[in-house]
Structures are given as C-alpha cells and as structure tokens.
Chain A
Amino acid sequence: MKKTIRLVFYFLVLGFIILQFFQPDKNLGDTNLHDDLFQVATIDGSVKTLLENSCYDCHSNHTKYPWYSYISPVSFFLNKHIVEGKAELNFSDWGIYSKIDRISHLDDICDAISDGKMPLGSYLILHKDASLSEENIKKICDWAETEGMRLLKEE
C-alpha cells in the first residue's frame, strides 16, 4: 500500500515536469508601434500609466509576465485570458479600428471599469497594483468621454 502511494506520487511529479515542456506562445510583440493607442489617440501621461498598469497585460501585444506565468498549467490559464482579452479589445491595434469601433470601445471601457468587471478579479489577486480606485476610474472615464467626443467631431 505504501509502495503504491509512493509510485503515484512519483508519477504526478513526473507528469508535472513533463508538462513544463509544453508552453503556450508568449505574447511578447513590440510595444508602442504606430497603431498603438498611445500613438494614435489624444491621451495624457497619467491615463497612459493607468492603462498600461491595469489593462495592457491582456489588451495589447505585449504582456509583462510574472515568474509564475512560466509554470504549466498556470501559463495556459493566463494565455487563455490574453487571447480572449485581445480578441475583445487590443490597444496595439487601435489605429486599425474604425472610428465607430473606437467610440464604441471607449464607451465600453468606462462601463467595464465602473461596473468592476475589469480588471478581472483573477488578475487582481496577483496584481494588486492594477486595481483601479474611484478616482482613477473617473480619470479614465473622463478621458474616454473626451476622446470619444473628439473622434465624433473629427472630420
């Protein structure tokens, strides 16, 4: 009996080690290229910092990976969020979006952070500094509204 337990344990350890050889592709594209929000939109430094800290890990082509993100199966769990996040909104592709999509995203950004839907709860557990205060939410929402209005009036 004792021998069986030990054998099962060895198998689990071996499985875990083998699993480490399987990793999803990392999201490590160039930052701030010409289609990035920061290049295309009218946005000031303080809002940039907020977006970079709280949104860019899953909503851009470049993720700042923490050490545990290199461990399977955590890496797959993280990758799923990044893929889904980028499909919904990718700030690195801001310049490619139509004006209508940009206005629409700006409105959704304010809604999502005001409702506390974003940043994701699972992301905040290990990224406490990504949490947005009331004040910062207002800052982003004010910017989103101004930028939306600017786009609307732009010829």
Chain B
Amino acid sequence: MKRLVSGVLTLGIIALLGAFTFNINSKELNTTANTQDELNLGFPDDVKKILKTSCFDCHSAASKNIKAKGALNFNKWNDYKTTKKIGKLNDLCELVQDGDMPTSKYLKKYPDKKLNEEQVKLICDWTKKEINSLME
C-alpha cells in the first residue's frame, strides 16, 4: 500500500513537471511562430534570422517589454515614416556596434543570443545599404 502511494506520487510529480516544461515550450514556440507569420519586412533572410534570434523577443508586438517595444517595434516597421526608418536603422547599427544591444541583462539570461563580429558587420552593412536606398 505504502509503495503504491509513493508510486502514484512519483508519477504525479513527473506528470506535473512534464506539463510545466511543455507549457513553457509551447509558449516560446507560440511567440516565435506569431512574429514569424506576422512580419513581412522585406529584409534579407540572413538579417532577418539575426533579428529574429537576438532582437524580436523585446522589439516585436509579442513582447511584454513596453519600453523596448515603444522604442522599436518591428511589427510596426511598415507603418514607420521614411525618416523614422532611417533613424532607427542608424541607431540599430550604432547600438549593436557599441555592444549596447542586446542588453547585458538579456544576454545574462540568453548568452547564445550575443552577436559576434561577423553578425554585427552583416547588420551594419545592411543598415547602411538600406538607409542609402531610403535617402534616394
């Protein structure tokens, strides 16, 4: 009898842990899926991949970080005026180049989202090209 009880208890704990893990996973999957579906930005794939990994968590509609979302929300990108787009692109390169973005607080939690030099260069080459085409 005692063995049965402890067996049930163990099973219960495993089930609970499983549900919890699954819940977390499905939440993350959901946000990613949403941003991916909604965003039709016309950015090159390699740029979009970097932004999706290291920026969209805070800078898209699904984000709960109001401050970050207010400063830049990629879901609203297509509504931004040309001057705003130029401004944001200019800031984007500067912030990743200086290592101010992603924030150190965020990187502490997700160290693998840190941008390497190659990725920073790719972003900045693209923002400069994009700005020049917007200036025309």
Contact = CB atoms under 8 A, between A and B. Distances in A.
B91 interface: yes
B66 to A, nearest CB: 10
B83 A107 contact: yes
A76 B82 CA distance: 40
A88 B88 CA distance: 15
A103 B83 contact: yes
Q: How large is the interface on A (under 10, 10 to 19, 20 to 34, 35 or more residues)?
A: 10 to 19
B81 interface: yes
Chain B contact residues: over half helix, strand or loop, or mixed? helix
Contacts of A104: 86-87, 90-91
Interface in A97-147: 99-101, 103-108, 111, 115, 145
Contacts, number: 36
- Which of B71, B82, B84, B91 has most chain A Cβ within 10 Å? B84
B83 A99 contact: no
State the majority secondary structure of interface residues on A. Answer: helix
A101 B90 contact: yes
B133 to A, nearest CB: 12
Contact of A100 (B70, B71, B90): B90
Contacts of B47: none
A19 interface: no
Interface of B: 70-71, 81-84, 86-88, 90-91, 131, 135
